Amino acid sequence: MDFFARIGQRIKRMDTVLCIGLDPAFSKADIEKQGKTGCARIALERNLRIIEATSPYAAAFKPNIAFYEALGEPGMATLRETLHSIPDDIPVIIDAKRGDISNTAEAYAQALFGELGADAVTLSPYMGLDTLEPFLQWEGRGIFVLCRTSNPGAGFLQDIAVNDRPLYLEVVKQCAALPNEVGLVVAGNDLEALRSVRQAAPSAWFLSPGIGAQGGQADQAFALGARDDGRGILVVVARAIADAPAPSEAARGLRDVMRRARDVRTTAEKALRADIEHKELSALKRDFVHALLSTGCFRLGEFILKSGKKSPFYIDLRRLVADPQAMKIAGRAYALLASECRYDSIAGIPAAGLPLATVASLETQKPMIWPRMPVKEHGTGNRIEGSYAAGECALLLDDLITTGASKIEAIDILRSEGLRVDDLVVLIERGKEGRLDMERAGVRLHAFMHVLELFDVLRQSGEIDEQQYRKLVEFTTNT
């Protein structure tokens, strides 16, 4: 499996983005006193204790190879034993920061991927992106390219302007152009860099060190570095866990801090999206009402209905076809309603529903069919026009609904041909009877606007006064 797919699965399954560093540091004096073998033994005991205590909270482990190389062969033996002790379902990233010409890079790749069995490594791009190629040839392995590092002097080279942007953002651009997916090392203690790189690389994976001893905060790093899906980042913590009295508690606490940061961000984003959607919907409804007025689809006066009753208003949505812009607005309204439904095709009800179904089909990119009403007695005798298959679901569409009579006739035709009809979408709903008829037919009704809401928009926009509004509402609620 691809490394980034594997790390994504681990994060999803364990709900953690914590990457735990295994960096057993010994001073020169420690090594002289304990000896390399003694230090290596202490390092192994410490690593095994950390791995056992923190595995439930780890998305990955990251040993820095320098601390093991410093102890010579005993240190490398400790590294191999450490890697062997990490559970198979937890990916391992060896922090090596390698980067060299082709044949040397091939040797580094063999050493890290072949001999040590790392799942991923960190690499330096300073000698050029061709130095990455030997590592990218290893199937199923991952690389993280140094982009913005966590050390205080990082800006000495990384802030140099290249093509009107800092060098570290140029690295982002060049890595994005590679044929293989690569991750980026982006300092967790540099919030501006996290924000800038995430903006430049919305889908990239970040490896973000610098938390704890280097001043970074896990929740802030997550908030600015995570992708929109709450993943795409591994927040690295080493000393704050290894030096804690209870590494398990420290790891769990860090995991939970980042979970809360995710939940806060998710809640804020949902509220923002809801606000935006509400404003967009309100604007679309205002545009729709304006289209009704400009095309003469809605008129005030005294009109004799089919039932013989006198109505103070009249709605005729067939006039929408006179204005292409009005039809476009209708298409957007239907697409919004359709987004709440599962269906294979749009079934327009003749005759008023056919041009509207056409614009809805274009807006949603779904095929259109329509039932013959009345049934065709000549030619092929088709009951339904268009391409469909039994078992598929048709989204029924009409201009408005007052009662369900014509809708039920269309539903019966569609269902008789083996199609499922679960939902009906209309632009305007009048009264209550149509909704009740649809419930009895086992069909969910989705109306873009109830006629009472239409009256309210007209009043707010000044198209009708308070007296007219009350008259319209009274007529509608009493019929």
pTM over 0.75: no
Confidence of residue 305 (pLDDT cuts 50, 70, 90): confident
- Catalytic (active site) residue 309: no
Identify the burial level of 398 via C-beta atoms within 10 angstroms of its C-beta, where 0-12 means exposed, 13-18 middle and 19 or more buried: buried
Structure confidence at residue 380 (pLDDT): 61
- Mean pLDDT across the chain: 93
Structure confidence at residue 162 (pLDDT): 92
Find residue 426's DSSP bridge partners.
447
Q: How far apart are CA 424 and CA 445, in angstroms?
A: 5
pLDDT > 70? residue 376: no
Q: Quick one: which of 221, 131, 127 has its CA closest to 182?
A: 131
In terms of phi and psi (left: phi > 0; alpha: psi -120 to 50; beta: otherwise), the region of 101 is beta
pLDDT > 90? residue 106: yes
Cα dist. 412→220, 358, 383, 419, 442 in Å?
A: 58, 22, 11, 10, 12
Structure confidence at residue 477 (pLDDT): 85
pLDDT > 80? residue 381: no
Q: What is the pLDDT of residues 450-460, one digit of tens each?
A: 999 999 999 99
Q: What is the pLDDT of residues 314-361, one digit of tens each?
A: 999 999 999 999 999 999 999 999 998 999 999 999 999 999 999 999
Mean pLDDT value of segment 353-374: 94
pLDDT > 80? residue 29: yes
Structure confidence at residue 272 (pLDDT): 66
Percent of the chain clearing pLDDT 70 (strictly above):
97
Structure confidence at residue 87 (pLDDT): 96
Which of 12, 28, 33, 97 is an active site residue? 97
Confidence of residue 375 (pLDDT cuts 50, 70, 90): low
**What's the DSSP call for residue 350?**
T
Structure confidence at residue 308 (pLDDT): 75
Q: How far apart are CA 165 and CA 162, in angstroms?
A: 5
Mean pLDDT value of segment 73-91: 97
Confidence of residue 307 (pLDDT cuts 50, 70, 90): low
Structure confidence at residue 275 (pLDDT): 77
Q: What is the pLDDT of residues 185-230, one digit of tens each?
A: 999 999 999 999 999 999 999 999 999 888 899 999 999 999 988 8
